Structure 1
Amino acid sequence: MPVGEDLLWGAADHTMRRVPRLRRMAVVACCLGFFALVLWAESDVRWAASAAVAYVLAESAYWLWDRRRLVEARLVPDGAGVGAVLRLRRAGGRTTEHDPGEVVRVLVVHDNVDGSAKLRLHLRKRRLCFGRPGRPPVLTAWRRVCPGADVGDRHARWGMPGIPD
C-alpha cells in the first residue's frame, strides 16, 4: 500500500524569530545602560554589566533550546517506497527521519487559554522532543502511525488567568 505524506504535527510559527529576539535584547541593553548612567552615575555599575551578561547568556540558552523544538512531524514514504518513516523538522531547519516504531509516547498538552496545544514526543533511548505551540492534532492519526506508542492528551496544569477556581 503506498503511503502519502501525512502531516501529524504542525506548529503555528515555523520561523526562528530573530527580529523580535534582537529587538528584545536591544531594549534590555538600553534600559540597563539608562539605569547605569542616570540613576547611579557616581556609584559602582558592575551590577549593570553582570545583569547584561546574565541576560545574554539566558537568551542564548533559550535560543539554543528553541532551535531544537519541533515545528513539523510528517509521515513520509521511505526510500524504497514500501514502508513509511516519521520525518521531524526542527525550528533551526534540521530534519531527521525515524522509524515509527521508535516512538514510545506521544503527549499533547492543550492550553487552557487560547486553544492551542504543545507536542511532547518521546523516542527510544530517552530522547524527548518538544513541539512549538500549534493546532491540536488528531490523536487517531498518531495511534494509527505508532501503534506501539502510548498516545494521549491532557490539559495544562494551570487555570485561566483572571478567573477564580
Structure 2
Amino acid sequence: MANGEDLLWDAVDKGMAFAPRLRRTAVTAGCAGLFVLVLWAYTDAVWAAWTIAAYVLVEIAYRVWDRQRLVEVDLVVSEADGLVRLRLRRAGGRTTEHDPQHVARVLIIRDNVVDSAKLRLRLKGKAALFGRAGRLPAVTAWRKACPRAHVQDRNAWWGMPGVPD
C-alpha cells in the first residue's frame, strides 16, 4: 500500500512562534493594566481587572489547544512488524502512530479565498483532531490510506465579502 513514507497532510506553519505570541500577550496585558490604573483613580475598575485576567486565561487556553493541532500526517511502514501506520505529528512536537483502520472520519475544508485547507480527523473512540492550515491534499490519497474512514471534502461556509459565491 505504501512504499516508504507518504505525506497526507502538511501544514504551512509548523512552528510554535512562542516569542511573537508572548510579546503580543505582554503588550496587550500591559496596555490594559495601564488602562486599569488610570481608571482606578477615578472610578471602581474591578471589571477591567477581570477583563485582563480573562484575556490572559483565553490566551493560555488557546496556546494549550494550538499545541495539540496536527502539522503533519504521514503514512509510514513500521520497522518492527512491517505494518502500515499513520504517523501524526502535532505542533507541540509530540508524535503518535495509529492504525489507519482506526480512522473514522477525515474532513478537508477548502478555503474559498486562498489556496489552503484545514483538516478535521477523528479516530475511533477519541476526540476530533484539528490540523493547522495547510496545502490542499489529495482526497484519493486519504481514501487509499484509510479505507474504512468516511473521507469528505467541502468548501468553507464563508466567502469573500462582495464576491458572490
Taking structure 2 as the reference length, what is the TM-score of the superposition? 0.92
Contact preservation (8 Å) 2:77, 2:85: yes
Alpha-carbon shift at residue 132 of structure 1 (Å): 0.2
Question: In percent, how many aligned pairs have the same letter?
Answer: 61
Contact preservation (8 Å) 2:5, 2:74: yes
Question: What amino acid sits opposite 1:120 in the alignment?
Answer: R
User: Are 1:46 and 2:57 counterparts?
Assistant: no
Structure 1 range deviating more: 46-55 or 84-93:
46-55
Q: Secondary structure at the match of 1:41?
A: helix
Please list the CA deviations of residues 31-70 of structure 1 after superposition, one character each: whole Å capped at 9, or x if unmatched.
Answer: 2123223355222232222111101111111111111000
User: Are 1:121 and 2:88 counterparts?
Assistant: no
Q: Secondary structure at the match of 2:106?
A: strand
Consecutive unaligned residues of structure 1, counting only runs of 5 or more, are none
1:138 aligned residue: 138
Contact preservation (8 Å) 1:3, 1:83: no
The structure-2 alpha-carbon separation of the partners of 1:40 and 1:164, relative to structure 1 and needing over 3 Å to count, comes to: farther
Structure 1 range deviating more: 22-31 or 111-120:
22-31
Question: What amino acid sits opposite 1:42 in the alignment?
Answer: Y
User: Are 1:24 and 2:48 counterparts?
Assistant: no
The structure-2 alpha-carbon separation of the partners of 1:38 and 1:17, relative to structure 1 and needing over 3 Å to count, comes to: same
User: Are 1:35 and 2:35 counterparts?
Assistant: yes
Tell me how far apart the structure 2 counterparts of residues 161 and 41 of structure 1 sit (CA, whole Å): 44
2:78 aligned residue: 78
Alpha-carbon shift at residue 145 of structure 1 (Å): 0.8
Consecutive unaligned residues of structure 2, counting only runs of 5 or more, are none
Tell me how far apart the structure 1 counterparts of residues 47 and 26 of structure 2 sit (CA, whole Å): 18
Number of residues of Structure 1 aligned to a counterpart in Structure 2: 165
Alpha-carbon shift at residue 161 of structure 1 (Å): 2.6
Contact preservation (8 Å) 2:2, 2:76: no
Please list the CA deviations of residues 129-148 of structure 1 after superposition, one character each: whole Å capped at 9, or x if unmatched.
Answer: 10000101011111111111
Tell me how far apart the structure 2 counterparts of residues 90 and 100 of structure 1 sit (CA, whole Å): 17
Tell me how far apart the structure 2 counterparts of residues 143 and 20 of structure 1 sit (CA, whole Å): 38
Matches of residues 142-161 of structure 1 in structure 2 within 5 Å? 142-161=142-161
Question: What amino acid sits opposite 1:88 in the alignment?
Answer: L
1:10 aligned residue: 10
User: Are 1:95 and 2:95 counterparts?
Assistant: yes
Alpha-carbon shift at residue 114 of structure 1 (Å): 1.3
Tell me how far apart the structure 2 counterparts of residues 41 and 162 of structure 1 sit (CA, whole Å): 46
